[in-house]
Amino acid sequence: MKKNRIIKFDSKERILKAAKNYVESVDTFFDESDRAIPLLLKAMKLADGEMKVKKAAIELLKKVRP
């Protein structure tokens, strides 16, 4: 019997968790912006539920800001 030697992980879950950390800590976001921005863009594509609400809030704030 062959054993599966590949470690499976949920990249979607990992990306969304990291994105939530950046959303919750703006200082970390700015400190790691070169890594954070591409990750947040990926997270927006994968987002559902809570993250979509945050995305909508961000879009709304952009419209309100002069």
Q: What is the pLDDT of residue 46?
A: 80
Give the integer Cα–Cα distance in Å for 31 and 11.
Answer: 23
What is the Rg, in whole angstroms, of the alpha carbon atoms belonging to the chain?
A: 16
User: Is the pTM here over 0.75, yes or no?
Assistant: no
Q: What is the pLDDT of residue 60?
A: 60
Write the DSSP symbol of residue 7.
Answer: P
| Domain-wise residue ranges, the chain | 11-64
Angle between helix axes 11-24 and 33-46 (nearest 10 degrees) is 120
> Per residue in 16-55, pLDDT tens?
888 888 878 878 878 888 898 888 878 877 877 776 767 7
